[in-house]
Amino acid sequence: MIDLTTTVLGVPVMDYQHRSLLELINLLGTGGNSTGVIAGCQAYAERHFIVEESIMEAYGYPGRDAHVAAHDAYRKRFAGLLAPALNGSPVLTRTMHRFLEQWWVEHIGHVDRELAEFLKSKGAREAA
């Protein structure tokens, strides 16, 4: 279970989207309709990446290429886990859940945190 109080970065658009996504990931960890939740994670993560990538573009963020590469690496790993997880096997759902939990906590805590600090230094608390 991800503790949602530890992932706040101080840029509302990022925090709001991270929170929604992390709530979905926590839901996946509790069982329930895993196929629907995984599809929701996929759609929501893609929307979120597009928002972050356009903010980086708009603000001329110097770390943009590395950050987009991190998103692309996620897209690839997620795609590799998707079909097996959608079979509904509990083991594969747990593998997907573990990947999502680890990846998002790590990404938000480092790569996104650096972006958030940059945006705040540009006075962009209300970015996008």
Q: Which residues bind Fe ion (CB under 5 A)?
A: 52, 112
Nearer to Fe ion, 15 or 95 (CB): 15
Least Å from the CB of residue 5 to Fe ion = 17
Rounded distance between C-alpha atoms, residue 62 and residue 43, angstroms: 27
Least Å from the CB of residue 92 to Fe ion = 25
Rounded distance between C-alpha atoms, residue 18 and residue 21, angstroms: 5
Query: How far are the Cα atoms of 21, 51, 110, 113 from residue 117, in angstroms, in the given order?
Result: 21, 17, 11, 6
Nearer to Fe ion, 21 or 92 (CB): 21
| Phi, psi for residue 33 in degrees, rounded to 5 | -80, 85
Nearer to Fe ion, 50 or 79 (CB): 50
Least Å from the CB of residue 68 to Fe ion = 9
Nearer to Fe ion, 60 or 90 (CB): 60
Rounded distance between C-alpha atoms, residue 32 and residue 18, angstroms: 21
Least Å from the CB of residue 87 to Fe ion = 28
